[in-house]
Amino acid sequence: MFYGDLFRNRVLGAAMAFLLLVSLFFFFREDQRVDPLAVVEHEEDHMGTIHRQQQEPNCPSYFAWIHEDLAPWSESGITREHLDEARRKGDFRLVIVDGKLYFERIQECIQTRDEITLQGLLLLLEKFPGMIPDMEMVFVCNDFPQVPKDEYRSKPPPPVFSYCTSRFGGHFDILFPDWSFWGWPQVKIRPWEQESVEIFDGANETDWFEREAIAYWKGNLWVMTPVREELLQCNNTQYNVVVYYLDWAKEEAEGFKTSSLSKQCHTRYKVYAEGRGWSASLKYLISCGSTILHIQPDFWEFFARSWLPYVEYWPISRENMCSSIKHAVDWGNAHPFEASAIGKRGQAFLKEQLTMDHVYSYMLHVMQAYAKLQRFKPEVPKGVQPWRPNPGENFGNVTAGQPCNMPPRDQVMVSRFTASQVAGYWQKCP
């Protein structure tokens, strides 16, 4: 690595991760399959303590990742040259000067992701007036991180804001809340503050113990990735899995009658399977309070980087996926209180630590920290007027307030999360 402090922090993190991996090795060595009951009991005590401590005005623990995301520029700062290189990788550039938002499209985004993200930023300016410093930022709006670490071992990377990062930390992208927090109008999903409440209410209609004792996945099989193709092979009673193909074109033609998220909380277990890249669906699945069977991902979003397996989700191996899901369902049905507790913890996390107040606080803190690293004066693009949304659209409401308090750097949390991604938690089943 190329900077002293960054190098020392990385070495410290690597050493802590190594010690965790060694301890996990001895934990798993007698039996290659994890004892979820033991893990649940241990992690419930640990995470329960963390969750109790994360009360306002303190921010949730995942905010500490902001320090990690911005560490590559801690010594060099962010220069105009860095931003020019970021522009070659990005989809749009935004500038904030004197509390006004300016937008420059670099290339087309999927659907209207860029415009919805901009609407969220306008609401941020309204919620925290006078607290957003002048800055220039470059965003990507697809489902993949864009700044691989292997390309920037000897020089600072370009600062690019993304909706996700890679599972093993192989990218330098700066994580940012995705557009769907302000709604996904193309599939009739409302802003998170409204959609989440409706799903929570739908989940309360059927207790976990009264739900169908199966795993359920509903989604787009038109994006036939290897993960979803393998999942489709599990679609039979032998594996206790139901896979439902959601034809979005048909749904749109019929007015989205069968795709209401609040009506999909009828099973004990819900499967999360990435699509072509990262998927925005995870928070909607967790809202049901079902036990999430999380197929080993390639990507993580900003709020999930404090999660641990058997605490907020059950890890599913990509190898022998069907058997891995069947084992999870069989174990959960044999230990319903422990299995239901995983689902309840995940749902409680959303209610307590992923409110829109938290989303806006996260945006504010990462943007303020980013702005402090700028080594240039932000400039409004020539001929560009302040961005204005289309009138009459609903992207949520805000009231002015104060953000939660940013936590300090938390190398223990980072190391625990990193270790959980590479150790035997993603178990193989026969």
Question: Which residues are 165's β-sheet partners?
Answer: 300
- If we measure between CA atoms, which residue out of 15, 27, 61, 55 comes closest to residue 312? 61
Contact 268, 341 (CB under 8 A): no
Alpha carbons 310 and 208: distance in angstroms, whole number = 17
- If we measure between CA atoms, which residue out of 48, 124, 69 comes closest to residue 349? 48
- If we measure between CA atoms, which residue out of 83, 117, 148, 11 comes closest to residue 370? 83
The helix (H) or strand (E) run that includes residue 96 is strand 92-97
Task: Return the biggest CA–CA distance within the chain.
Answer: 67
Contact 73, 366 (CB under 8 A): no
Residue segments in the chain with a per-residue pLDDT below the cut of 50? 1-8, 10-34, 40-55, 429-430
Q: Where are the domains of the chain?
A: 4-35+60-184+356-422, 185-353
347-383 pLDDT per residue, tens: 999 999 999 999 999 999 999 999 999 999 999 988 8
| Domain 185-353 grouped into CATH 3.40.50 | yes
In 158-240, DSSP assigns E strands to 161-162, 165-166, 174-175, 212-219
248-258 pLDDT per residue, tens: 677 777 777 77
Alpha carbons 102 and 273: distance in angstroms, whole number = 36
Contact 162, 148 (CB under 8 A): no
Handedness of CA 59, 65, 69, 74 (dihedral sign): positive
Alpha carbons 361 and 127: distance in angstroms, whole number = 10
Q: Per the confidence metrics, is the pTM higher than 0.85?
A: yes
Exposure letters 312-341 (e unless 16+ CB within 10 A, then b): bbbbbbbebbbbbbbbbbebbeeeeebbbb
Alpha carbons 145 and 367: distance in angstroms, whole number = 18
Residue 423's pLDDT is 56
Residue 324's pLDDT is 93
First to last CA, the chain: 41
